[in-house]
């Protein structure tokens, strides 16, 4: 059984989609061990408590990133977390944090990376005039919105889209994408090959890096 640690800063709809997938037995072998937020009144934290999950706020405002991350890490270790899901966690994590969970931190981002990293990805896509956008689930590495891509889903950008309508359409796909990506990781059937995350049957043996 893999123990998931969920980190969120806001609404928590991606967290709830993961919780639902586990409840409906679409993610066998996973259990949510703890939900942490850097924002005390994050609605996602309240939802986690309603579901009876261990949920804690570790406020980040005004704190040094290293101190805050050390406390987050201690709490994750305390709950024996194997895999971390950033689910709308709007804070950059330290290299020490990333090193503590190598290729074991997942993030979801509302664009087709490497296009439109950073904040307001949906607005960036609209303003750029992109005809297609979507979402990306990726491993977290030392650079923002940069790690190895686990899975992406595309969404059409319509001519009358606003940030709100495009965000809502992407979000529906996010809710499916996160669980699918988790299923891939939990399956143990995928390996990292350079920047590619591929099914072991499709891997090139000479360059494969076992995970």
Count residues contacting ligand GAR (CB under 6 A)?
15
The DSSP call for residue 23 is H
- Taking residue 174's Cβ as centre, other Cβ atoms within 10 Å add up to 25
Cα–Cα distance for residue pair 123/112, rounded to 1 Å: 13
Contact status: 134 vs ligand GAR (CB under 6 A):
no
Identified catalytic residue from 68, 77, 79, 109: 109
Q: According to the binding rule CB under 6 A, does residue 109 interact with ligand GAR?
A: yes
Task: Name the residue number minimizing CB distance to ligand GAR.
Answer: 88
SS3 content of the chain, % helix, strand, coil (to 5): 35, 25, 40
22-55 burial code (b ≥16 CB/10 A, e <16):
beeeebeebebbbbbbbbeebebbebbeeeebeb
Which residue's CB is nearer to ligand GAR, number 152 or number 191?
Answer: 152
**Smaller CB separation from ligand GAR, 7 or 81:** 7
The CB-of-171 to ligand GAR minimum distance in angstroms stands at: 5
Does 48 sit near ligand GAR (CB under 6 A)? no
Q: Within 57-96, which residues bind ligand GAR (CB under 6 A)?
A: 87-88
User: Segment near ligand GAR (CB under 6 A), from 70-78, 107-115, 153-161, 180-188?
Assistant: 107-115
5 binds ligand GAR (CB under 6 A): no
Length of the chain: 211
**Residue 175 is a catalytic residue:** no
Opening angle at CA 9, ends 68 and 186, nearest 5: 90
Of 76 and 177, which has the nearer Cβ to ligand GAR? 177
* Catalytic sites, residue numbers: 109
Residues that bind ligand GAR (CB under 6 A): 8, 10-14, 44, 87-88, 108-110, 121, 171, 174
């Amino acid at each position: 059984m893999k123990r998931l640690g969920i980190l969120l800063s806001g609404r928590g709809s991606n967290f709830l989609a993961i919780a639902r997938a586990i409840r409906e037995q679409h993610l066998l072998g996973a259990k949510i061990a703890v939900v942490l937020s850097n924002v005390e009144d994050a609605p996602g934290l309240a939802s986690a408590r309603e579901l009876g999950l261990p949920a804690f706020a570790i406020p980040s405002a005004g704190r040094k990133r290293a101190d805050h991350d050390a406390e987050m890490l201690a709490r994750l270790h305390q709950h024996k977390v194997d895999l971390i899901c950033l689910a709308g966690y709007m804070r950059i994590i330290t290299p020490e944090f990333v090193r503590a969970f190598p290729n074991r931190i997942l993030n979801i981002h509302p664009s087709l990376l490497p296009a439109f990293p950073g904040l307001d990805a949906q607005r960036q896509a609209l303003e750029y005039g992109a005809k297609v956008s979507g979402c990306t689930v990726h491993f977290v590495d030392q650079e923002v919105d940069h790690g190895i891509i686990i899975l992406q889903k595309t969404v059409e950008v319509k001519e009358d889209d606003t940030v709100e309508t495009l965000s809502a359409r992407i979000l529906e796909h996010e809710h499916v994408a996160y669980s699918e990506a988790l299923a891939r990781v939990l399956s143990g059937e995928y390996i990292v090959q350079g920047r590619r995350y591929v099914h072991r049957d499709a891997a090139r043996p000479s360059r494969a890096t076992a995970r």
